[in-house]
Structure 1
């Protein structure tokens, strides 16, 4: 592993061996929280290893001990919790948590897992505030999922027939990706300035950088290249009138500037030129035996009719911790999120927690948040205050 190590090889293996899926009822419990901390450490170590090109020890451990299925089941379980339990929890009359951070950690758990999977694949508040945080997390998770999808398309030649069928026929991913390029949800105009969502926040793009291909745009183009030009996809993708019309929209985006940055897209440009002259195909219905979503159906079957009871149980026993429990948890979080490691895995210099510009000043109490100036720190205190106090108490308790 790299020079800066969060985990020794033996420690990483012990953590990986202990990974397992939890019942939905136990999400947020002490045992679940400990596994979340272990996942965060594995996640940060995987990023550290990747940043210094030290092989893929975390990936090898996950594969050797067959823990990828456990991570996938945890992803599905968190998604089901967010759909079935979280809305019920927020509607309970006695839902008045003194501290919302334990609930936020459950919402954040999905992002931790998808980030770990992305790294591995790449190298082969009150109820209203919680809802707002959950929505932002959903957006970040969706962008991570887009990267994971692109890495999956790199392996088109090894995907099963049922997987190819779901990608090309059931979900029609090429047409969905065309829609993404058209609407580009990771870019926006704010105050007349172009902004891109990167590194977990919206950042203003300098005028000189606006012609530069963003990472997410690049992921979409590479996924489209793989989906449309791989022999496996071309043999099974039906080019109907609708599909043809959608795909030909791509020609407007294939400018010389884009081709200079991704030269391989010249092959896609030639494919589209041929498609414009080709006869379309009639819709076909192939007989394909597909796997059913076993994990989702099993979890739903096991918990059907219990969502209200699960929400009440978690409110009483999981999301209403005592002051002492919070301090102990804050101490564990401080040990997990070591500042030297966080700074090493950060893709760029820290950004102001309030306005998003590059920051050089850190909160003196908790040392967790960054700011560009005193004014931004004061404006952000309403959001940061509670978490700051808890984190600072945890540091003093060590």
Structure 2
């Protein structure tokens, strides 16, 4: 199999060309950053430009006009680059960030630089969620669509696991603990929001079942058994909870109480799960390849309890799914398939892990000295840059809990920002 043209380089090398001039909103020069050596001011610039692209993409979509950001990302073949970058930051969070948190001699006066790296993953997945609505964007991901499917599967698996342990933490600022402990709590909440974005991205991928490769279909239906995972998500509904006898749903970055008159209304996230299930079970490509084993049959038949008349009124197409389940209940389960298939496998995560195996401690210590211990002047410049990012976005688009966290992390350090300035991320 030919090597990919978007192969990641080790996390040791800090090479972060920016996304192109902000004025032309062009992502022509976009490359994935490799977090480490040096102060990496170019990485900061790239993150800032990514934020501007992200915000402009949301504005374009909200205004129901042409979407030049999506078109430019496709034209310049930058979707694979964004996927590589997304997984690189995910790996940094899993392999390097915990080491930084365990270092007893690491007590930074300001955790804002580390937060910006954590926030980078949220920025990328938010941009992908915005542009993946368009089928041509999914197709332009090329081979990295396999890696993106794996990424979404990892996030949704964690989401299901988290739902059994009380859900995400509250966003209120902790009154106790060190800055690093507070940062860890912010990272947990951000991880929850990222997983919800990954759910939407996965749903948009399933809209393209007719153009996905056989390897991608096999990955979704056989390797990960996504239909059964989505059934678990519906059962646990981690974005809903009962608090003080009232129903709350996680929307726009916070828990919001649902009025009694709105409780029968299908939430956006529940809708994403149902549409993904519809695509994964009823598309011709899926029906030809999904093996309905006894386990899968048992899991899928749980959906019948959720298919109420109220739900069908809101998503009429689910009547076809209801008919599929009625037929499934009367048929025999299929034995597991043992077809020998030569297929592609995701490479980005495995390659990054292989190239940096045994180096995580060294990377963390190197970053401690050279990346996450900036001077007061460097912190001031970074905070000013963040505060100058556009903030005139529709409600619920950018003013999420991650945006409010940036406000806190900057504003609670008066030495870093000018007294008259506040972060408006």
- TM-score for the superposition, normalised by structure 2: 0.79
Query: Do residues 84 (structure 1) and 137 (structure 2) align?
Result: no
The residue that corresponds to 1:360 in the other structure is none
Q: CA deviation at 1:326?
A: 1.2
Q: Please state which structure has a larger fraction of its residues in helix.
A: 1
Range 270-279 or range 287-296, more displaced: 287-296
Q: Distance in 2 between matches of 1:274 and 1:190?
A: 39
Partners of 2:411 and 2:417 within 8 A in 1: no
Partners of 1:28 and 1:106 within 8 A in 2: no
Secondary structure of the structure 1 residue equivalent to 2:269: helix
Q: Distance in 2 between matches of 1:304 and 1:19?
A: 26
Provide closer, same or farther for how the CA distance between residues 61 and 138 of structure 1 changes in structure 2, counting only shifts above 3 A. Answer: same
Secondary structure of the structure 1 residue equivalent to 2:250: strand
Provide closer, same or farther for how the CA distance between residues 154 and 349 of structure 1 changes in structure 2, counting only shifts above 3 A. Answer: closer
The residue that corresponds to 1:67 in the other structure is 78
Query: Do residues 292 (structure 1) and 331 (structure 2) align?
Result: no
The residue that corresponds to 1:230 in the other structure is 283
Query: Do residues 22 (structure 1) and 33 (structure 2) align?
Result: yes
CA deviations over 1:32-85 (Å, ceiling 9, x no partner): 111110000000000111111111210111111111111011111001101111
Instruction: Find runs of 4+ consecutive structure 1 residues off by over 6 angstroms.
Output: 348-351, 381-384
Higher relative contact order (Cα pairs below 8 Å, separated by 6+ residues)? 2
The residue that corresponds to 1:54 in the other structure is 65
Provide closer, same or farther for how the CA distance between residues 330 and 10 of structure 1 changes in structure 2, counting only shifts above 3 A. Answer: closer
Provide closer, same or farther for how the CA distance between residues 304 and 49 of structure 1 changes in structure 2, counting only shifts above 3 A. Answer: same
Query: Do residues 205 (structure 1) and 258 (structure 2) align?
Result: yes
Q: Distance in 2 between matches of 1:183 and 1:131?
A: 25
Partners of 1:156 and 1:232 within 8 A in 2: yes
Partners of 2:133 and 2:204 within 8 A in 1: yes
Aligned 1:1-398 pairs, distance under 5 A: 11=22, 13=24, 15-26=26-37, 29-124=40-135, 126-336=179-389, 338-339=390-391, 341=392, 344-347=393-396, 386=412, 390-393=416-419, 395=421
Provide closer, same or farther for how the CA distance between residues 57 and 156 of structure 1 changes in structure 2, counting only shifts above 3 A. Answer: same
Partners of 2:241 and 2:249 within 8 A in 1: yes
Q: CA deviation at 1:292?
A: 2.9
Partners of 2:252 and 2:399 within 8 A in 1: no
Structure 1 gap segments, 5+ residues each: 1-8, 354-367, 371-380
Partners of 1:40 and 1:112 within 8 A in 2: yes
Structure 2 gap segments, 5+ residues each: 1-19, 136-177
Which protein shows a greater Rg?
A: 1
Q: CA deviation at 1:289?
A: 2.2
CA deviations over 1:200-230 (Å, ceiling 9, x no partner): 1111111111110000000000000011100
Secondary structure of the structure 1 residue equivalent to 2:96: helix
Partners of 1:13 and 1:61 within 8 A in 2: no
Partners of 2:112 and 2:410 within 8 A in 1: no
- TM-score for the superposition, normalised by structure 1: 0.84
Secondary structure of the structure 1 residue equivalent to 2:256: strand
Q: How many residues align?
A: 359
Q: Distance in 2 between matches of 1:144 and 1:270?
A: 30
Provide closer, same or farther for how the CA distance between residues 332 and 350 of structure 1 changes in structure 2, counting only shifts above 3 A. Answer: closer
Q: What RMSD over aligned residues (CA atoms) do the two structures have, in Å?
A: 2.5
CA deviations over 1:321-360 (Å, ceiling 9, x no partner): 1111111111111222x33x2xx33238979x8xxxxxxx
